[in-house]
Structure 1
């Protein structure tokens, strides 16, 4: 079953930190081992181990009051708290003090995740960390807590970022900056942050820049022996202004393209309307040419004189012409005239 509570995740490793103050270590087992059997953490929060000679001299003078605290992970003894102490033990063996070939430790069986959490929590409580080390501590704590939560090893209430912030003594705003650094700062810039050529403000401002700009900042920090956050903030501001202007230009170009398309569409519509009008006019002219331009059939005098009246073919041509003319003037025909035309049509029908 997982362990719940906002800070109860740290109760599991508090015993490691209490060893610093001489309080008895609960749930840990005493064991005597050779310092050479002990494995250091593959990645400890503390980047440097200073004053090992002085610590070794102190052990000779007053003895080792605080035992090194270990985790036994898959049968391997690893240091949770006391890397400097173990190095001092080894230094004393190399100086020829055989009584340090076996020294007193406290150990506890742990999983990989539990070991990582114990190691990080011990470092956070017991050491004055640089801004870089604190940032690394926060990032690693976040990863292991999320992993343990997801595997059910612990139950975390509340936001992990807020829990870590309270634990390492940082505000919510500062934790947001630390998270940004861990997520976005390039390796070149992290190296300058680690070397102290960037403070945490400069590292945060750099993390807001694209990778190519971070590379330039890192080179500048290395050449000058440092770079201020305000310098990087100015670059960030300039970058944002350039991006803002580029965005405006892009929006203007899109609007111009849209207007151009609408203009072309209107021009095409007008051209099509003009073409339709021309074709309609041509059709009207053709119709008028058929109906109005047709000359009435000419009845020859010889035909009239021979028969005394037009021939059937001549009458047909005359009737066709007359009907065509009537079609043109149809809106002017009166009702009585229409009755006459209908009588003519009925007489034609009766003739079969």
Structure 2
């Protein structure tokens, strides 16, 4: 019998190399691996955008960051599953397809996550630095929360964090490098936004601030807002706030009892410790009470009599509510039905307002104008920030409105250029072409890469302030 034989000797060279390389040293080892031996992870939810741009960067300066892979052979797909770096992997494929064979082998970190949860965390952490669209942020937070909950329930340790104490929201905020408030807002949107608005959010037709404001509304209220969006073609953060304030102003407070519910016509308003008397209110009677109409903590008022100072034109007010306005009324001294429970009265006149000088009124008007101007500027700034999220890889994106006919020609490849007002376009930018019909967006969009551009500085035939850009489809 031959000596020195082991099971390892029976394995083929490639299998042995895979096993040897996957043994973690300082959590991973590095190896130059053919991109054709790698395959993408089906659980990777991060969008694979800007591949053309990424390929150009790699061609210019090389692959500056290693891929991270796991040795997990799958027949017909490859030997190494990509944990992070799928965009770079796709860009390398594109370069090889175009004849740059030197990019076939990529230096990769070979890691060996012990659990599926650890693998998910590695993917999320590897992508935490990226600029993301709102839809991706929501999915990322959801995946991280579910993973941490699984680890907590299974008693799996996460180095650097104690999952068994404290709130997971703190851990999520720390790992994603965002505030706890932002995490709470993301969860509110994810849990409460109706599917139709989630679709609008995913298509970048709704800002995150507007989505968060909508998440505080009921499903029926959200569908009312959806009808407004369908009619007007847009739904801003401020428009949603106005809708909520208008609805709140017209809604009756739940459980509130009006004065008509507790008194008959001709009765005098009653108060009990400053609250309207209802069926469940029980005045506290002291030991000294002997059946008189006035009890401890209970106050009645006499019916209105003729007001000696009001004259023949005196009209009986009809106060209602639970918090008094009477003390600030100009008629307080002469009114016979003033009460500590009035929030609304048909004879109310605000004393402070009536006594204002012209200078005070002018100053208040100017202050109101200043506040409204600041509010609109803040609103505009917030809207611009949310509508111009940086895209993957740092490329600049521009939104261009086009007609249906131009959209069709570009989509079918008949037209590859456009003449536009020059808003700072440059070669390498990605533009989003949005189709409009009758002044409204149809929802159809195209993404095109600017391969070259001419303006009035490069060509005398082009009018000042305009440019001609050549468009090329963005490779997904």
TM category, shorter: 0.5 to 0.7
Q: Which residue of 2 aligns with 1:310?
A: none
Is it true that 1:198 corresponds to 2:203 in the alignment?
A: no
Alignment deviations for residues 23-48 of structure 1 (CA, whole Å, 9 cap, x no partner): xx942122444434433343545435
Moved over 6 A (4+): none
- Shift of residue 61, structure 1, vs aligned partner: 3.9
Q: Which residue of 2 aligns with 1:95?
A: 98
- Shift of residue 163, structure 1, vs aligned partner: 2.1
Conservation of the 8 A alpha-carbon contact between 1:68 and 1:81: yes
Gaps of 5+ in 2: 1-24, 262-277, 280-476
- Shift of residue 189, structure 1, vs aligned partner: 1.0
- Shift of residue 237, structure 1, vs aligned partner: 3.4
Q: Which residue of 2 aligns with 1:161?
A: 169
The 5 Å alignment of 1:171-320 reads 171-218=179-226, 220-221=228-229, 224=232, 226-240=234-248, 244=252, 248=256
Whole-angstrom distance in 1 between the partners of 2:89 and 2:175: 27
Q: Structure 1 residue aligned with 2:82, among 69, 76, 79?
A: 79
Structure with a larger share of its residues in helix: 1
SS at structure 1 position matched to 2:140: helix
Alignment deviations for residues 149-199 of structure 1 (CA, whole Å, 9 cap, x no partner): 111222414211022223334333333222211211122211222222222
Aligned residues: 231
Q: Which residue of 2 aligns with 1:113?
A: 117
Q: Relative contact order (C-alpha < 8 Å, sep 6+): which is higher?
A: 1
Q: Mark the structure with the bigger radius of gyration.
A: 1
Q: Which deviates more from structure 2 when the two are superposed, residues 57-66 or residues 82-91?
A: 57-66
Alignment deviations for residues 234-264 of structure 1 (CA, whole Å, 9 cap, x no partner): 33334445654575589x99xxxx98xxxxx
Distance 1:27 1:207, change over 3 A: same
- Shift of residue 59, structure 1, vs aligned partner: 3.0
* Normalised TM-score (structure 2): 0.42
Whole-angstrom distance in 2 between the partners of 1:210 and 1:65: 48
Distance 1:172 1:58, change over 3 A: closer
SS at structure 2 position matched to 1:153: coil
Q: Structure 2 residue aligned with 1:170, among 178, 182, 189?
A: 178
SS at structure 1 position matched to 2:127: helix
Structure 1 vs Structure 2 CA RMSD: 3.5
* Normalised TM-score (structure 1): 0.55
Gaps of 5+ in 1: 1-24, 260-352
SS at structure 2 position matched to 1:29: strand
Alignment deviations for residues 280-316 of structure 1 (CA, whole Å, 9 cap, x no partner): xxxxxxxxxxxxxxxxxxxxxxxxxxxxxxxxxxxxx
- Shift of residue 103, structure 1, vs aligned partner: 2.8
Q: Which residue of 2 aligns with 1:134?
A: 137
